[in-house]
Structure 1
């Protein structure tokens, strides 16, 4: 049997000490890490964790912060080590946003991005560029528990999977949330808000009308998203770099929806992450393969039953829809 390696970058952003703080994202990372180690054969040495938790570990060292630069550096390191046959996994739990795209003569659209703890956005352009650089034969799966996450890699490859029951009565959901004291917070930060924070920090906006990404360029320099490069803004970059890719994206919601951060009693977690982990847990004593399509369908059914009002999606090729999730159980 050919040897291959499974590698992962796991990111959780709770944004502590901010007014847009979330509660369950670092817990989500812990849950996902446990699952991929126990069920899918990922070794501790091949898992990179980036969280903004205040907790200091037993070694006395602080966690690596999930800034935009640190996340991209971790992904680049994973890509450099990857060989044909390797299974690569990127998990993100945190805020997402939608970036308005205005181009003369073209319909208005919104592109997707995830929000690192320093607000240095990682956009669909960055993620597609990452996938396009991988060695042929290496597989890449992203699981994003954030708002507007549908289409983060390739929105035109949305797969239709088995249908699930969406008939959970709203009053039943309300009664359940009241009983268990469930609080649901959207994992969404508006792009206008992010832009204002960045431009203010960069001291822009007083005597000029700043362009998208202008303040981010001033603060983050070369680490800014490629979507905000002048070449891309002038469409030249778009023609030269958005190559075809074969990545797999399991997203917590559609491109125009939000995912939810849940607090239930003394537990905090992402609704989609909990649904994924629970669905995989049902196969704990089974060696039956769970495909990407099957996992998405099971997770979406669990989300609908809970009544959280988000629609998980799968974006990949037809072939990858029927491939085992993360290469199959160990």
Structure 2
């Protein structure tokens, strides 16, 4: 007999990029903390939580291919009514989406796995399109330029729907080392070029040379095929982003590097959930996280992208 109980499945990815010029400090802490929240607050079975980090000794590293394999596996298991959750803490970036000689070069959002095999907004759109009707797939991305990380998803809270206040951060007496969770695409191009030894500014050439079929759809498909990938009218994707597409998210290293490091957005979400024990809608979670970051003096504005119904549905319920 088929088990009709709702499944709750999660993939948590933390990339610290240790001992590289792009090193962060709080990303692994973020997903370890969220793992406990999922178990204690939302009733996730620990056996249904997949944790990928680039900590020394990790058996499965959070490469682009491994993250996408884990996401595909999670979606393949999903049935109507299931709750899927992906939490990413690490670097983000924006890349030009259309090659020359086109004059218009839109910037597309992406996360940066430990091997630089980018996962772009189009990849997340493709994954969301596969989620069964009646299930939900929530993405929480604590990374720079994370607004709009699901291509063509409807904005509920963001630059077009809320005006940003002219807020001046309050100076703090606690020594805090802050680093933006972004890698400019020029730096990604330089890194990839050093591996391929191909002299071209075209990112797609380098990604296809290094990663082949595991490269992002952005780099594998012609532009006319990319444009034909639809967004569903009422899809099941819910994106909580750490900032707007043109902003950066902060990685915090308190007490001069001697305290417990964390991502500002992940930490704000934890504070919101701790201070509000009752159910919260996705919209309430994002608005309250915005307020926490504002009070703390951060200049980043979390956003929400999803359907109208999912904006008012309960977070991870």
Normalised TM-score (structure 1): 0.88
Q: 2-side partners of 1:169 and 1:243: how far apart?
A: 38
Match of 1:326, SS? Answer: coil
Match of 1:142, SS? Answer: strand
Alignment counterpart, residue 149 of structure 1, candidates 132, 146, 150: 146
Seen in structure 2, the aligned counterparts of structure 1 residues 304 and 165 have a Cα distance that, compared at 3 Å, is farther
1:93 Cα deviation from its structure 2 partner:
0.3
Equivalences for residues 43-62 of structure 1 within 5 A: 43-54=45-56, 56=57, 62=58
Equivalences for residues 160-239 of structure 1 within 5 A: 160=157, 166=165, 169-170=168-169, 173-174=170-171, 176=172, 179-205=173-199, 209-229=200-220, 232=221, 234-239=222-227
1:72 Cα deviation from its structure 2 partner:
0.3
Contact 2:87–2:141, Cα closer than 8 Å, also in 1: yes
Match of 2:316, SS? Answer: helix
Q: 1-side partners of 2:116 and 2:242: how far apart?
A: 20
Matched, 1:14 2:10: no
Contact 2:42–2:316, Cα closer than 8 Å, also in 1: yes
After superposition, the C-alpha distances for 1:51-100 in whole angstroms (9 at most, x for unaligned) are 0012x5xxxxx342100010001001101111111000001000000011
Contact 2:251–2:262, Cα closer than 8 Å, also in 1: yes
Contact 2:238–2:304, Cα closer than 8 Å, also in 1: yes
Structure 2: state its 5+ residue gaps.
none
Q: 1-side partners of 2:98 and 2:129: how far apart?
A: 25
Contact 1:126–1:226, Cα closer than 8 Å, also in 2: yes
Equivalences for residues 1-330 of structure 1 within 5 A: 3-54=5-56, 56=57, 62-102=58-98, 107-154=104-151, 157-160=154-157, 166=165, 169-170=168-169, 173-174=170-171, 176=172, 179-205=173-199, 209-229=200-220, 232=221, 234-244=222-232, 245-265=235-255, 266-283=259-276, 286=277, 288-327=278-317
1:246 Cα deviation from its structure 2 partner:
3.1
Q: 2-side partners of 1:105 and 1:236: how far apart?
A: 13
Match of 1:65, SS? Answer: coil
1:222 Cα deviation from its structure 2 partner:
1.1
Q: 1-side partners of 2:183 and 2:164: how far apart?
A: 30
1:217 Cα deviation from its structure 2 partner:
0.9
Q: Which residue pairs with 1:59 in the alignment?
A: none
Seen in structure 2, the aligned counterparts of structure 1 residues 168 and 112 have a Cα distance that, compared at 3 Å, is closer
1:239 Cα deviation from its structure 2 partner:
3.3
1:106 Cα deviation from its structure 2 partner:
6.3
1:242 Cα deviation from its structure 2 partner:
3.5
Alignment coverage as a number of residue pairs: 307
After superposition, the C-alpha distances for 1:126-168 in whole angstroms (9 at most, x for unaligned) are 1100110122211100000000000001455111489799565
Seen in structure 2, the aligned counterparts of structure 1 residues 164 and 183 have a Cα distance that, compared at 3 Å, is farther
Match of 1:310, SS? Answer: coil
Seen in structure 2, the aligned counterparts of structure 1 residues 167 and 239 have a Cα distance that, compared at 3 Å, is closer
